[in-house]
Chain A
Amino acid sequence: MQVAAQTPEIATSSSAGYRWARDAVGVTLILAAGLAGYWLFPDNLALLTRVIAVALLVLSIDLVTGYGGVATLGQAALFGAGAYAAGIACVNGVTEPLTLILIGAVAGAVAGLFMGTIMLRAHGLAQLVLSIAIVQLFHEAANKASAYTGGSDGLAGLMVSPLFGAFEFDLWGRTAYLFGLALLIVVFASLRFIVSSPFGMLCRGIKEDPVRIRAMGAFVFPVLLKMFVISGAVAGIGGALAAISTQVVGLDSVSFELSANALVMLVLGGLGTLYGALVGTVIFMGFEHVVSAINPFHWMTMVGALLIGVVLAAPGGLSGLLDRMSGISRRRKEKRT
């Protein structure tokens, strides 16, 4: 401790270095897991691509819920905005995948701006209900505008051009998966960067005590709104990825059910770490996939049991469990030094 007191700057940079290294390891692990998935389950790539798209949605919820403290049951509105924007653009001749992702991100961000503006007027339960109302309105609008969205029949016939002009989005879904994985890595790394920026720290503060943040002289609303826009962009990327890889956009992508499922995945994995969002998505969807394949008729009971079990065993979510374990080991290490 004496040493730390004398040379705090060195300590500071080493702490920053530690965080940097931790994130680098984290991203590498995700990449490794993604590639492992590619080699281990070459026949399930469409499922894995769907997992990635949903993971982006869950990440986007973690931004507003885990970092901003705003619980939402309507995030699919942003996901769907991205999916439909990309889908409609694609049907109208914009078929370059990266452009479509960009369009999805922008549409999601705009929807996020809209949603944030409304939701941030309320708190707590009322806020949750606003999010539900908004996603239902989006759903209704998508259903109504069937001339553009295909309504409940879905928006079909998306012919996406090959990625970089070379890689087709085909039956085996290799292109779609690797494209999705690359997107996920880029988005995740960017998000880790964002949440460890001053802005991210400020959001964490707002989540815990907005009064204190105001007393520090910072406005709460614009900060959270900014987070909503970022979150919308992430959700929109997820939606666009889903649209590109599925070649169909359905009303389910702007549904309350998708929003609720995604929130469940996030809470399952643990809030406010971004890693938890990924863990929760993979565990939930993987588990669902396996049990529903084993028994397509009564698998819901098993998923329910999983959720109950997690609450009983790890109330802070699965990543909280991991964190506690790693926390113990880290503290031990600290004690040693």
Chain B
Amino acid sequence: MSELFRVEGLTKSFGGLAVSRNISLAMQEGDRIALIGPNGAGKTTFVNLVTGQLQPSAGQVVLNGEDVTRLGAVQRVRRGLVRTFQVTRLFSDMTPEEHVTLTVLQREGRATRILSRFHGNSEVAGEVETILSTLGLLEVARRRVREIAYGQQRLLEIGIALALRPKVLLLDEPAAGVPSSETPRIEHALERLPKTLAVLMIEHDMDLVFRFARRVAVLAAGEIIFQGLPSEVAANEKVREAYLGNYAHARSVA
């Protein structure tokens, strides 16, 4: 399989404080990588760097063979590098249907059109319906977002991302804040992501990680300290150190 996406030596410091250090990572078509790490390891910063919300101090981001490091967030999205947000960023007065319709129209370059109507646009309605039904959101398609359950809002985040037909998808804690009763629906949605899509998921829920990911990368203090198969993670010394270090030290001091 061809390499779709690669970051190399990605580094970001705020003042003197390095929050991402020399991160390198590559993804192929259909990849399913989980990026895990303790709180404050710099996971969201990493996503912001990759998607262009932040400019790196050093290193580069390559998408489909093109260096996109100097491109803005919007340009990267248009090239197929799409993210979701850890805390949902949705338009509280719009419906899921409107969200997805807007996204599809935008993808097709029709979102800035003045001389067509937004609602009742039959050309995109089919696609919108497909996306919503894949995610099980059809029944709330016409409700305002602020009136639907948080789990459904998380699904809509994914739906918006899918509507952009991404090549690489960065999921920032897709299950964060969702009550455990609703987690299966999210998991279900994740399973049904397009096969060719390269997905990088940040997640805390290890069960989800192990079921979803074919590879795992561990980020600690801004550095990738491990990349490999899920089954190897638990056994890795560095990872144990990163997660359990404090306790280990505590024991040795005592």
Contacts and interface: CB of A to CB of B under 8 A. Distances in A.
Interface stretch (B8-16, B36-44, B60-68, B114-122): B114-122
B141 interface: yes
B209 interface: no
A202 interface: yes
Given A12-B125, A202-B106, A223-B112, A215 B51 contact: yes
Interface stretch (A78-86, A206-214, A283-291, A294-302): A206-214
A19 B119 contact: yes
A315 interface: no
Interface string A231-275: 000000000000000000000000000000000000000000000
A201 B102 contact: yes
Interface in B104-146: 105-107, 110-122, 125-126, 129, 133, 138-139, 141-142
A81 B160 CA distance: 41
B176 interface: no
Interface stretch (A3-11, A142-150, A181-189): A3-11
Given A15-B120, A215-B51, A218-B74, A198 B107 contact: no
B102 A202 contact: yes
Interface of A is mostly: helix
B120 to A, nearest CB: 2
A198 B111 contact: yes
Interface in A149-198: 193-194, 196-198
B77 A198 contact: no
Contact of A217 (B77, B89, B120, B125): B77
Contact of B74 (A196, A209, A219): A219
Contact of B89 (A11, A20, A212): A212
Interface stretch (B23-31, B90-98, B210-218, B246-254): B90-98
Given A194-B114, A197-B117, A212 B102 contact: no
Interface of A: 1, 4-5, 8-9, 11-13, 15-17, 19-20, 193-194, 196-202, 204-205, 208-209, 211-212, 214-219, 222-223, 226, 230
Interface of B: 51, 53, 72-74, 77-78, 82-83, 85, 89-94, 97-98, 101-103, 105-107, 110-122, 125-126, 129, 133, 138-139, 141-142, 160, 164
16 contacts: A12-B125, A17-B120, A19-B120, A197-B114, A197-B117, A201-B111, A208-B91, A208-B92, A212-B89, A212-B91, A214-B74, A215-B89, A216-B160, A217-B78, A217-B107, A222-B112
